[in-house]
Amino acid sequence: MASNAPKYFANRRERTPFRSTGRTPFRSTKLCSVKRTWRLKKQADVQRVWQEGRAFAHPLVILRVRANGLAQSRAAVVAGKKLGNAVARNRAKRRLREALRPHFPQLPPGQDLVLIARNNVNNVPFAELTAAVQQVLTRAQLLES
């Protein structure tokens, strides 16, 4: 560090900016992010899908679908407290979101989707989870088989 730094900083290493090393400070979320227009954000919208939407069940996930009358489809992922602590719920939501992401551009426009995680969603391989999401989307006639 510079010689004019206070004494309590004396044994700290000098930090180099990330730009000079070519590294990024955080992982890039661009690869696994869901577009903003694809997100179902308002609680009232989620509740409307929950109450008025059609349900399609699988041992790993439940899908609820409702027409929204918009030009694009939107989705929300829900994990209840039965799933475990916040870490387990967030992990389940990340896995479901990532399982849904490759199928989202193929969905017909004008649908609101709510994916609900079931208890054993964190204990299965990701390929099985992706197959489950694809199966409920096909059963809901949102994807071609």
32 within a domain of the structure (yes/no): no
- Tabulate helix, strand, coil % of the chain (nearest 5): 45, 15, 40
**Total structural domains in the chain?**
1
80 within a domain of the structure (yes/no): yes
Mean pLDDT for 80-92 is: 93
31 within a domain of the structure (yes/no): no
102 within a domain of the structure (yes/no): yes
CATH number of the domain at 45, please: 3.30.230.10
Q: pTM, whole model, 2 decimals? A: 0.72
The average confidence (pLDDT) of the chain is 81
User: Quick one: pLDDT band at residue 48, thresholds 50, 70, 90?
Assistant: confident
16 within a domain of the structure (yes/no): no
pLDDT tens digit sequence for 13-23: 555 555 555 55
Nearest to 118 by CA among 100, 141, 87, 92: 92
6 within a domain of the structure (yes/no): no
144 within a domain of the structure (yes/no): no
Domain span at 57? 38-139
User: Quick one: pLDDT band at residue 28, thresholds 50, 70, 90?
Assistant: very low
pLDDT tens digit sequence for 104-145: 888 889 889 999 999 899 999 999 999 999 999 999 998 876
* Block residue for tokens 């903003």: 36
117 within a domain of the structure (yes/no): yes
